[in-house]
Chain A
Amino acid sequence: MTLEEELVSKLKERFGDRILEAKVQRARRIFVTVDRSAYKDVIRFLRNDVGVTHVSTISGVDAIDHFEVIPHLSYKGIVVSVRAIVPKDKPEIDTITDVIPGALFYEKEVHEMFGIDIKGHPDLTHLELPDDWPEGLYPLRKDVKLEELFRRITKERD
């Protein structure tokens, strides 16, 4: 059994149904989909029991009917992408900064780009967007078109 398969079976054994999907895409690439309620437990398990210390980044995705928050963790050269499904009517998720402090900036980015509330995050001010950025305008959401972004930024600046 390869290291990748071993990791997937460990996760399945520990979390059972709370892991919605787990697959090895290719050598050193694992994608795991988890329920939002299990998200932090999975990260904590990977940190404390498996020994993952490095989070490469956290990708936010607007998948039209829901949001996805995907931390890419690095473990012995394997990228473990843990996908948490976040419903659009209640866009919030637990922070993982208390488990992996290096996730601080990445969570801020997900918050400001997608409007997903990171519960328990110490500082949800802007990271990349300016301080006078229009309230409630989340640029990487799919329903925000380029024209609208341009109009709102220029209008509110003038």
Chain B
Amino acid sequence: MSNIVDVPVGPQHPALKEPLNITCYVDGEQVVGAKLRIGYNHRGIEKAGEYQTFIQNLYIAERICGICGIVHAFDLAQATEHIIGKEIPRRADYLRTIGLELNRIHSHLLWLGVAAHEIGFDTLFMYVWRDREVVMDVIEDFTGNRVTYALVTIGGVRRDLPQEKAEKMLRVMDALEETVKKYKEMCLNEKTIRMRCDGVGVLRKEDAIALCAVGPTIRASGVPFDIRADDPHAAYDEIPFKVVTYDTCDVTARILVRIDETLESINIVREAIKKMPSGPIRARLPRAVPVGEGVGRTEAPRGEVIHYVRSNGTDRPFRWKVRAPTLANLLSIPVMLTSKGDYVVYIADVPITFASIDPCLSCTDRAVKFVDVSSGKSWVWTFSQIKRMYWKDKPCWRERP
């Protein structure tokens, strides 16, 4: 097998959270294997957390992920509340639910834009990001910030949702539903999308289960694994919603899962506003947390997030462990990027396959180093160069099964 070439993809992209290096083993045009290396942006937050109080940690937790900030703060607060053993006001649960779902809507739309960009469909990217801006405005209206919301606190939330803001939110949700339905129509019927995504990045159901994939990645492989339904937290026990699954296991399925989930999220926000009881939004809980341990989990836009917190009776955690969903989904990438039998992976499919798990990083202009093993010669290409090289002249260069 002397003609196998190593193609290291990544790692540097300073703008995003988790730079990642994938070494693709390439035989001609086909990717025959892949290996991962992460950790280029390890920040030591778990260690830092042991030196800060629980309240301070909430704000560090929000900065774990700039896109789904509410999720991490919520999880830490949930685990801490489990240790304290007090229930929080019901209205706070509903407000948290609204926050989590708005997070999901804007994250899924952001991803849809990125995915469109990765397959070279920049018009869709522009449209989707324009409409995402509306959601960002609603979030700002509700929490005071576009990102790092500082909404959740231990014992409840910090901001209420007055009637007039709720009504405005409902109006935006109505308009957004129409747009998202249009996008779904577009993704189902647009030939460009279908040709680039059907049968690409396949993760079979049994692989997804064995590798413990989470979120839209496992749901697009036909497994109804959703923490909101399985382990109802916040107000999800009182709000009916559908767990979206598709069973084609490819990138198209992941696109459709996310679009359908956006529609479900819009309904959850509506339902939450309708059912929200009046009352206090925060319970005063002690700053020093009693001895004990707690596990908080929730369904982030990318999948299950789990926080494990141990307290030794002080106001600082003894141990705080965080697992973000991208780490759980990374193991699936080498499987998606390995040609096997009838399933063939091409170099041009690497960006969208990688982007399809919605990693907390982008492929745009990621440097790619090509090494020709036989001559020892190596050169660097950016993803945009690959796109030009492989897509421009041959829009339909590959036969689809």
Contact = CB atoms under 8 A, between A and B. Distances in A.
A95 interface: no
A28 B231 contact: yes
Nearest to B332: A102
B321 A57 contact: yes
B82 interface: yes
A54 B51 CA distance: 32
A115 interface: no
Interface string A89-109: 000000000001111111000
Interface in B321-355: 321, 323, 327-328, 330-331
Contact of A61 (B47, B297, B310): B310
B319 A61 contact: yes
Interface stretch (B61-69, B101-109, B206-214): B206-214
B212 A55 contact: yes
Contact of B330 (A53, A77, A105): A105
Contacts, number: 92
A46 interface: no
A122 B51 CA distance: 34
A140 B330 contact: no
B230 interface: yes
Contact of B308 (A72, A101, A104, A129): A72
Contact of B42 (A60, A77, A102, A129): A129
A103 B318 CA distance: 24
Contacts of B358: none
A76 interface: yes
B231 to A, nearest CB: 4
Contact of B51 (A101, A127, A146): A146
A102 B328 contact: yes
Contacts of B376: none
A110 B82 CA distance: 24
Interface in A30-59: 31, 53-57, 59
Nearest to A53: B209
Interface string B39-75: 1001010111001000000000000000000000000
Contacts of B321: 57, 59-60
A139 B44 CA distance: 9
Interface in B176-219: 209-213
Contacts of B225: 54
8 contacts: A56-B212, A72-B295, A77-B230, A79-B306, A81-B308, A101-B212, A127-B38, A128-B39
B374 to A, nearest CB: 27
Contacts of A78: 231
A62 B50 CA distance: 12
Contacts of A25: 82, 294
B27 to A, nearest CB: 23
Contacts of B42: 128-130
Contacts of A18: none
B338 to A, nearest CB: 15
Most buried by B among A57, A76, A149: A57
B293 interface: yes
Interface in B242-289: none
A26 interface: yes
A106 to B, nearest CB: 8
Contact of A54 (B82, B212, B327): B212
Given A57-B306, A79-B295, A79-B297, A103 B212 contact: yes
A126 interface: yes
Contacts of A102: 210-213, 328, 331
Contacts of A76: 230
Nearest to B207: A101
Contacts of A79: 231, 295, 297, 306
